[in-house]
Structure 1
Amino acid sequence: MAQILSVGVFVGAYVLIATERVHRVAAALGGAALMLALRLTDGETAFHSLDAGVDWNVVFLLLGMMIIVGVIKQTGLFEYLAIAAAKRAKGKPYAVLAMFVIITGTASAALDNVTTVLLIAPVTFLVCDRLGLNPIPFLIAEVLASNIGGTATLIGDPPNIIIASRAGLSFNDFLLHLAPFIIVLMIAFVLVCRWLFRDSFRYNEDRVAEVMALSEREAIRNRTLLVQSLIVLGLVLVGFVLHSALHIEPSVVALLGAGLLVLISKVTTEDAIADVEWETLVFFMGLFVMVGALVKTGVIDEVSHALANAVGGDPLLAVMALLFISALLSAIVDNIPYVATMAPIVGELVAAQGESPQSQSMWWALALGADLGGNATAVGASANVVVLGLAARNGTPISFWKFTRYGSIVAGLSILLAAPYLWLRYFLLA
């Protein structure tokens, strides 16, 4: 009965979010409240459980980076980058989009996809404003690129960290097994963008001429604050890369960076937190509580075990099932709790098959399915939710279905390309 109720509440909240009948924050909080009121989860689980509660690492990582980005915004750096990027692309919309997509995908592999979209979105708004372009296609393309690029490395997407911890995989393992495919997929995505957003590449020649006449150096308003911000940002990025060796969570690194920047600069605390997306943070909390209830009542666990039983001892069938089912489920629930629940099941499957390239490929199928499948809907990945919040704050809201219309196509193509990659590399050519 508890499982039926938890699924009912989750589906009801999801429908409200998808149809936008009520604000997504209200739907998420309402769903979370119902889960608690019906005792499908409890306060201890919702707020303290690592497997079925609010992922505070994600929440505080976002909070820290939002504060850092808010301070950097006051230096004029984003205006500088916007003008420089527009001039380098000669104001051509597709060239601008391709440039941002490549930068976003590459940075998401080196950092993480949420941090990257927080940094690239303000530049995007400014470029589009200068050129008289609609920023929505650019933002959607960037967040899709961030999820693709983040798949390539251990630190690029949070589910990869969970998989690495469970499977004993290193940073170099991800580079060796996933990065080659992601490079090919990024090239394909840049080409697909030409068709996918073809109606958005009209531009105003007068606006382009105005931009080309601007001097980007004049955009910098506070050079001292810029130097301070870049030093702190550099330290934070180093902390992200070395967090596993330092045994410090990325969320702690982000909060330390935010605190240090506010401390050494003359920015007031009011100005520092002015650009924090509180609605996005609260939405995440509600979503985590709802998905946590699905975990606590055993819904996700039953789905995972059903998959394990269905594939039996066939490694190729297991790999393909993991890839496609992970993509489907990660489009519906956030991929972080899904991977956290699925990782032990995959571990059992791998152990049953013994050490071989075929059995190890199950981990790569899980990573590709969860990371790339998260592109399908607006709530499939953390970066998607962050960008929707930023767009709404900027006065250019992106609807659930508008994002899904583009995201589902990209996710579908990505998974269809991932399937032959896994088959060729780990079965035909192994």
Structure 2
Amino acid sequence: MSAVIALVIFVVAFFFIATEKVDKVKVVLIAAAAMAVFGLIPGAEVFFSEHEGIDWRVIFLLLGMMIIVGVIKQTGIFDYLAIWAAKKSRGKPYRLMVLLMLITAVASPFLDNVTTIMLVAPVTVVVCNRLHIPAQPYLIAEVLASNIGGAATLIGDPPNIIIGSRAGLTFGDFLVHMAPIVVVIFAVFVLFTRVLFRKSFRYNPERVASVMALQERRAITDVRLLVRCLIVLGFVVLGFGLHSVLHIDPSLVALVGAGVMVLVSKLDISEVLEEVEWPTLVFFMGLFVMVAGLVHTGVIGTIGEWAINVVGDNFFAAATSLLLGSAVLGAFFDNIPYVATMAPVVEGLVAEAPDPQTGQALWWAFALGADFGGNGTAVAASANVVAIGIAARNGHRISFWQFTKYGIVVTILSTLIAWLYVWLRYFM
């Protein structure tokens, strides 16, 4: 009975988030409160449990990076990069989108995709404002590119970190098995965006001419602060890359980096904190509690175990189930708690595999489905929520369905290509 109540609360909340009849932050707070009132979450443990509660690592990673971006913004570097991007693309909409997607996709495997979006999105907003074109299509394309590109490495997408830790997979393993198909899917996606966003491409010759006449170097307002910020940011990126070696969580790296950034900038802290997307952080907390209700009452685990029991000892069917099932479920639940919940189920299935290659194939199918499912809806991955928050703050509101109508198409396309890859490489 408790599982049914938890599922009903989640579905009703998701309906209001999708229809946007009520502010999504209010929705998740009310839903989280309902989960608590009905006793569907593990009590006070919801604040401490890694698998059945708020993932504070995600919250503090976001907070740290928001502070870092807030300080960097004061230097004028985002205006500089926006003018540079506009000039490089000569203001041509599709060329500009490809350039921004390439930057995002190249950065995402080495930074996590949330961090990448937080660095690229402000540039996108500025360049679109300069060219007097809507920023929404460019931000959506960047998020989709980020979720695809982040799948290539161990540190590129948070679900990969969870899977790598559980399965004992290294950074090199992800490069060998995930990077090849990510490159193929990204190339297809870049070509596909020409059709997908064709109605959004606008070219304003007068605005382009005025931007081409600008000198981007004049956009930098504080060179000394910029140098200090870039040094700190460099160490933060290095910390992200070495977190598996140093055994320091990326959230701690982001928080330390934020503290050092504020220290070296000598800016008024209240000014910096104004740049933090507080509604986005609160939304994540409420969403984690909602998902905790599904986890604690066994809804997600039951769905996963049922799917695996259906396929029996047919391991290609199991891989297909994991890939497609993770893409579908990952589109409706945030893929971080989803992967944390399903990882033990997958581990049990891998233990029954007849050989190591088949066992690894199951992990890769699981990772591909969870990563690409993150593009499915506006709330499926952390990067999606962050980008929508940044867009709203800058007057370029992205609705749930505006994002989702593109995300579903890209998820279906990338998942089908990934399924073909798993079949050819591991089961052919």
Query: Do they fold alike, i.e. is TM over 0.5?
Result: yes
Could you state the TM-score of these two structures normalised by the residue count of structure 1?
0.99
Q: Are 1:155 and 1:161, in contact at CA under 8 Å, matched by a contact in 2?
A: yes
Q: 2-side partners of 1:380 and 1:14: how far apart?
A: 11
For 1:295, the equivalent position in structure 2 comes to 295
Q: 1-side partners of 2:166 and 2:313: how far apart?
A: 21
For 2:192, the equivalent position in structure 1 comes to 192
Q: 1-side partners of 2:379 and 2:231: how far apart?
A: 33
Bigger mean CA deviation after superposition, 39-48 or 269-278: 39-48
Aligned 1:156-235 pairs, distance under 5 A: 156-235=156-235
1:21 is displaced (CA, Å) by 0.8
Matched, 1:63 2:63: yes
Q: Are 2:308 and 2:321, in contact at CA under 8 Å, matched by a contact in 1?
A: no
For 1:14, the equivalent position in structure 2 comes to 14
Give a deviation string over 1:268-292, Cα, whole Å, max 9, x none.
1011111100000000000000001
Matched, 1:388 2:388: yes
SS at match of 1:144: helix
Q: Are 2:327 and 2:370, in contact at CA under 8 Å, matched by a contact in 1?
A: yes
SS at match of 2:16: helix
Task: Count the aligned residue pairs.
Answer: 428
For 2:397, the equivalent position in structure 1 comes to 397
For 2:365, the equivalent position in structure 1 comes to 365
Q: 2-side partners of 1:354 and 1:259: how far apart?
A: 50
Q: 1-side partners of 2:196 and 2:308: how far apart?
A: 36
Q: 1-side partners of 2:127 and 2:392: how far apart?
A: 17
Q: 2-side partners of 1:91 and 1:235: how far apart?
A: 33
1:265 is displaced (CA, Å) by 1.6
Letter in 2 for 1:297: T
For 2:86, the equivalent position in structure 1 comes to 86
Aligned 1:10-409 pairs, distance under 5 A: 10-409=10-409
Q: 1-side partners of 2:272 and 2:259: how far apart?
A: 10
Give a deviation string over 1:187-243, Cα, whole Å, max 9, x none.
111101100000121211010001111100000000111011101100000000001
Q: Are 2:41 and 2:293, in contact at CA under 8 Å, matched by a contact in 1?
A: yes
Bigger mean CA deviation after superposition, 299-308 or 325-334: 299-308
Letter in 2 for 1:192: F
Q: 2-side partners of 1:254 and 1:409: how far apart?
A: 33
Q: 2-side partners of 1:176 and 1:44: how far apart?
A: 42
Q: Are 1:132 and 1:203, in contact at CA under 8 Å, matched by a contact in 2?
A: no
Matched, 1:420 2:412: no
Question: Which runs of no fewer than 5 residues in structure 2 stay unpaired?
Answer: none
Q: 1-side partners of 2:298 and 2:148: how far apart?
A: 30
Question: Which runs of no fewer than 5 residues in structure 1 stay unpaired?
Answer: none
Give a deviation string over 1:338-369, Cα, whole Å, max 9, x none.
11111111111111113332221000000000
SS at match of 2:39: coil
1:333 is displaced (CA, Å) by 0.4
Q: Are 2:42 and 2:52, in contact at CA under 8 Å, matched by a contact in 1?
A: no
Bigger mean CA deviation after superposition, 39-48 or 342-351: 39-48
Q: 1-side partners of 2:341 and 2:38: how far apart?
A: 23
Q: Are 2:350 and 2:362, in contact at CA under 8 Å, matched by a contact in 1?
A: yes
Q: 1-side partners of 2:254 and 2:355: how far apart?
A: 38
Letter in 1 for 2:63: L
SS at match of 1:354: coil
Give a deviation string over 1:25-55, Cα, whole Å, max 9, x none.
0001110000001111144221011111000
Give a deviation string over 1:142-192, Cα, whole Å, max 9, x none.
000000000000000000011001110000000000100000111111101
Q: 1-side partners of 2:16 and 2:43: how far apart?
A: 24
Q: Are 1:152 and 1:178, in contact at CA under 8 Å, matched by a contact in 2?
A: yes
Letter in 1 for 2:217: R
RMSD in angstroms over aligned alpha carbons?
A: 0.8
Q: 2-side partners of 1:277 and 1:233: how far apart?
A: 20
Identity, % of aligned positions = 59
Q: Are 2:112 and 2:157, in contact at CA under 8 Å, matched by a contact in 1?
A: yes
Q: 1-side partners of 2:261 and 2:164: how far apart?
A: 32
Q: 2-side partners of 1:319 and 1:149: how far apart?
A: 22
Letter in 1 for 2:144: L
Q: 1-side partners of 2:382 and 2:69: how far apart?
A: 17
Q: 2-side partners of 1:122 and 1:338: how far apart?
A: 29
